[in-house]
Amino acid sequence: MTNRIAELRKARKISQAELADGVDVTRQTIISLESGRYNASLLLAHKIARYFGLTIEEVFLFEEEETP
């Protein structure tokens, strides 16, 4: 799963700390989400999407994994 958090955040000139404050997580979680090291829970995905005024699908891009 990839996401557009960094892109949306930069476009709106929001800092990682401000976004973290807005969705009630630590800044480290935002850093991990942006770098793709951590996948958000449905609840956090919903909070982030709502923070940007978008739908979850517009922020988080689900990619079907290839089956061997």
Partner 1 sequence: MKDFWKKIFPYVMFAAAWALILAAILLDERVPKQISLALFTSGGILMGFGAVGIALSRIRMSPEQQKEYERGEHDERNVAIREKAAMSSWYWTLYMLWAAFLVIQIFVGGLWGVAISVVIVLHCTFYMINIHRWNKKM
In whole angstroms, what separates CA 2 from the centre of its chain?
A: 9
Smaller CB distance to partner 1: residue 31 or 54? 31
Q: How far is the CB of 37 from partner 1 (least distance, A)?
A: 9
For partner 1, which residue of 18, 22, 32, 46 counts as binding (CB under 8 A)? 32
Smaller CB distance to partner 1: residue 2 or 11? 2
CA distance 63 to 68: 15
Residue 39 region by backbone torsions, left for phi larger than 0, else alpha for psi between -120 and 50, else beta: beta
For partner 1, which residue of 4, 14, 18, 29 counts as binding (CB under 8 A)? 29
